[in-house]
A and B are shown apart, each in its own frame.
Chain A
C-alpha cells in the first residue's frame, strides 16, 4: 500500500459528460502529479503541483482538462465534454521534496480507469 488514494477506481461515462477524479496524496508530501496511461504505453505526464501551486502542465492537458489542489492537500482532475479518446487510466502520484536528495521518489496510486462510451 503506497498510501496514495484515488477515487473512483473505475468510471464509465457517456461522451460529452463531465467527470471528476480525486487524489489524496501521502500526508506531508508537497508535490502531487497527474499522469495518463493508455494500454501498452507508459504513463504520460499531465501536470504537477507543489503545495497548492500548479507548476507545470503538459500540452496533453487540453482546455477541457483542469486540475486543482486547494489548500495543498487533495487534488481533483476534471475532464469536461469527455471524448472517446479520453479513455485511459489516470494516475496520481505524490512525493516529498527534500533538498540534497538525489531523487524525489514518486509514490503512485492505483489509478482511476475511465471509459468513455
Chain B
C-alpha cells in the first residue's frame, strides 16, 4: 500500500481557504485517495474520496493531478469548527480492508 506524507500541522484564520497536500508517490493503478476528519474524542469521519482530476462535495474539494502522486484537500472558507486532524489515506479499490492512518495534519483555525 502506498505510503502517504502530509504536513504535521497547519494554521489558518477563519474565512480563509485551506489546502492540505498529501504525497503518495507509490500509488498504484487500482488505488484511490480518501480523506477523513477527526475531532477530539470522536472517531474519524469520511470527507471525500477520489481517483483522478477533481471531486467536489458539500464540504470539500479534492484535486488529484494526472500523475496521481499527490492530492490536495481544499476546505473553502474554514470556520473554527473545522479545527481537527485530517488524514489522507490510499486504499486499493474493491478490497474493503483495513484503513492505514498516518499521523495526519492538525489544522488549527483561529479568529
- List residues of chain A with CB under 8 Å of any chain B CB: 2, 4, 31, 33, 35, 40-45, 48, 56, 58, 89, 91-93, 95, 97, 99-111, 113
Contacts and interface: CB of A to CB of B under 8 A. Distances in A.
Given A31-B96, A48-B98, A102-B93, A110 B43 contact: yes
A43 B52 CA distance: 26
Q: What range describes how many residues of B lie at the interface? A: 20 to 34
Q: Is the interface of A mostly helix, strand, loop or mixed?
A: loop
20 contacts: A31-B96, A33-B98, A41-B103, A42-B85, A42-B101, A43-B43, A43-B99, A43-B101, A44-B101, A45-B99, A93-B43, A100-B94, A101-B94, A102-B32, A103-B49, A103-B93, A104-B96, A105-B46, A106-B44, A108-B43
Nearest to A47: B98
A11 B87 CA distance: 27
A24 to B, nearest CB: 13
A106 B103 CA distance: 18
B104 A2 contact: no
Given A48-B98, A103-B49, A105-B49, A43 B44 contact: yes
Given A4-B43, A108-B43, A111-B41, 6 more contacts: A40-B103, A100-B94, A108-B42, A108-B44, A110-B41, A110-B42
Contacts of B41: 89, 110-111, 113
A56 B42 contact: no
A33 B99 CA distance: 9
B81 interface: no
B98 to A, nearest CB: 4
B96 A56 contact: no
